[in-house]
Amino acid sequence: MGLDDKIKNTAQDLTGKGKEAAGKATDNERLEADGHKDQTEANVKQAGENVKDAFK
């Protein structure tokens, strides 16, 4: 996995955490769900990259 991919996945995860926290603070369920979705996508991408690394 390239460093660029790691940075992008981490950035997406942190953005998702921020959105989720903002959604909870403002009682905005849509923003909270969007943040959770971003975190899940980042985790799935990270897992896929880990699998690729395991087969190298």
What is the predicted pLDDT for the residue at 1? Answer: 56
Q: Which among 53, 33, 52, 51 is positioned nearest to 41, based on CA atoms?
A: 33
> Does residue 28 lie in a domain region?
yes
Mean pLDDT confidence for 21-41: 97
Q: Where are the alpha helices (DSSP H) in 1-56?
A: 3-26, 29-54
Quick check: is 55 in a domain? no
Domain count, the chain: 1
Q: Is 12 contained in some domain?
A: yes
Q: Is residue 42 part of a domain?
A: yes
Nearest Cα neighbor of 34 from 48, 49, 51, 17 is 17
* Mean pLDDT of the region 23-47: 96
pTM: 0.84
Q: Is the pLDDT of residue 45 over 80?
A: yes
CA distance 8 to 33: 20
Instruction: Give the range of the structural domain holding residue 18, as residue numbers without chain letter.
Output: 3-49
